[in-house]
Amino acid sequence: MEREVTRRRFLRTGGAASALALAGCLGGSNPISGGGGGGPSGWPRPQRDAAFTGHTEASGPTGSVETEWSHDLGDEHLGQAPAVVGGTVYVADPDGVSALDAESGSEQWREEFDGSIGQLTVLDGTVYFESAGVRALDAADGSTEWTYDDVAERGKVTVADGTAYLAEWTGGLVALDAGSGEEQWTGSTDEGVPHQPAVADGTAYFVTRGGEETPSYLVAVDTESGEETARIEREAAIDQRPTVVDGTVYQQNGWAVGPTTVPGGEQAWGYDERVPRGAPSVAVDGSTVYFANRRPGTTHYQIVALDRSSGEPVWRRTLDGGVVAAPIVADGTVYLGTTEGTVYGLDAESGETAWQHALEGRVDASLAVANGRLYVAASEGGVYALAEA
């Protein structure tokens, strides 16, 4: 099926757009170009940066590990990745947000809210998350800085370069000033936007909700004006947020894993493994794309590493337990957790197990690396810091 590429006006309020000029650069030696104003400190959000690469040059545990500390949040299901900034770990559960000391796990503050709580982002002293709109809390004490509740239904928020981008389930994208919550521009689309937008180099990328009869689209929007600059039809529904590296978007969809250049829509390669719907996002470092999925025709899960230039498999590993969250990669080690409660550290070059560690409760969220530790939120309400034994 030929991919349709169109441009149309996405903006409802705002100024004129600048042209989008991004080239897909797949050279393995090139550094990753992320979003959000340069490399973030610590691990401030899921997959670390606004482009959702899931990659850092900082080191996590590489040898045998031990649980340095754990913090019990009761029987709450922890399905969101922890955020780690400075000396604090921030964790969301269905009832509230907790700030824990990164060295000891002791509680620094906790705030509870009505309604579900989405993914946390911690930037410039503020904690952002979606909960019947968008909330911004003071990272030091949890007090509310501002709220934005002009939404018809739930949404997903990404914060980058002083702006919070809210993708609305019912269709549309709203840009809010990250300091005040005031609208900068708003846009609409006929299709719902079920996942966080990725932001890199002046462009926000999001995917629209598709179905059996309705295609998904990869949409690019200028972050200054809200003008839609590209719309690329995908052959199958896309069930997770995009990852952007050097102007190329990497995603799993209902059929394959592959990179798409924007705005042209060209796909340099595609790795077709009949990826099941709901498969987690990918992680990308300088030369390799990492993703987890269920092996076709089996109930077993695996993690696969593909060469970023060619799409050829570098290695694959079968895992014990399911994988519902994206892997991350830090200084040559790939980390991920499973529904059986096992956390893995794998050698990024070979896929061999560097270590594995069993926890109580399944791991449904992606992990965070900071301060030489690996931070994990498990489903039985446990937050863990894993360190070299």
- pLDDT at residue 212 greater than cutoff 50: yes
Residue 64 within a domain: yes
> What is the predicted pLDDT for the residue at 26?
32
**CB proximity list for 98: less than 8 A, separation 6 or greater:** 71, 73, 90, 91, 107, 109, 110, 383
- pLDDT at residue 237 greater than cutoff 70: no
Q: What is the pLDDT of residues 255-280, one digit of tens each?
A: 467 788 887 888 888 887 655 555 67
Higher pLDDT, 99 or 279: 99
> What is the predicted pLDDT for the residue at 2?
29
Q: For residues 235 and 140, what is the distance between their CA atoms, to the nearest angstrom?
A: 45
The answer to which of 19-23, 95-99, 301-305, 359-363 has the lowest mean pLDDT is 19-23
Structure tokens at 218: 């990869």
> What is the predicted pLDDT for the residue at 4?
31
Q: For residues 166 and 130, what is the distance between their CA atoms, to the nearest angstrom?
A: 8
Burial track 223-245 (b if 16+ CB lie within 10 A, e otherwise): bbbbbbbbbbbbbbbbbbbbbbb
Residue 384 within a domain: yes
Q: What is the pLDDT of residues 131-171, one digit of tens each?
A: 888 999 999 999 999 999 987 667 899 999 999 999 988 78
Residue 4 within a domain: no
Cα distances (Å, whole numbers) of residue 72 to 69, 98, 117, 128 = 10, 11, 18, 23
Burial track 332-360 (b if 16+ CB lie within 10 A, e otherwise): ebbbbbbbbbbbbbbebeebeebbebebe
CATH of the domain at 188: 2.130.10.10
Q: What percent of the chain has pLDDT over 90?
A: 59
> What is the predicted pLDDT for the residue at 365?
93
> What is the predicted pLDDT for the residue at 290?
95
Evaluate the CA torsion angle 36, 40, 45, 47 in order and state its sign.
positive
Per-residue pLDDT band at 11 (split at 50, 70, 90): very low
Please compute the mean of the pLDDT values over residues 326-352 and round it to a whole number: 96
- pLDDT at residue 300 greater than cutoff 70: yes
Count of the separate structural domains present in the chain: 1
Structure tokens at 156: 């997903």
Per-residue pLDDT band at 115 (split at 50, 70, 90): confident
- Tally of residues, the chain: 389
Residue 2 within a domain: no
Strand partners, 206: 219
**Tally of CB atoms within 10 A around 112:** 12
Please compute the mean of the pLDDT values over residues 202-225 and round it to a whole number: 86
> What is the predicted pLDDT for the residue at 238?
67
Residue 115 within a domain: yes
State the chain's mean pLDDT as an integer: 84
Contact assessment for residue 375 and residue 43, using Cβ atoms and an 8 Å cutoff: yes
Higher pLDDT, 250 or 297: 250
Structure tokens at 208: 């629209």
> What is the predicted pLDDT for the residue at 307?
95
> What is the predicted pLDDT for the residue at 273?
66
Higher pLDDT, 101 or 21: 101
Please compute the mean of the pLDDT values over residues 332-344 and round it to a whole number: 95
**Tally of CB atoms within 10 A around 260:** 23
Collapsed DSSP state (helix, strand, coil) of residue 239:
coil
> What is the predicted pLDDT for the residue at 108?
98
Contact assessment for residue 263 and residue 274, using Cβ atoms and an 8 Å cutoff: no
In terms of residue numbers, what domain contains 140? 10-388
Q: What is the pLDDT of residues 320-332, one digit of tens each?
A: 888 889 999 999 9
Residue 179 DSSP symbol: T
- pLDDT at residue 24 greater than cutoff 50: no
> What is the predicted pLDDT for the residue at 141?
98
- pLDDT at residue 70 greater than cutoff 50: yes
Residue 5 within a domain: no
> What is the predicted pLDDT for the residue at 253?
64
Residue 93 within a domain: yes
Residue 194 within a domain: yes
Q: What percent of the chain has pLDDT over 70?
A: 84
Higher pLDDT, 300 or 101: 101
CA-derived radius of gyration, the chain = 19
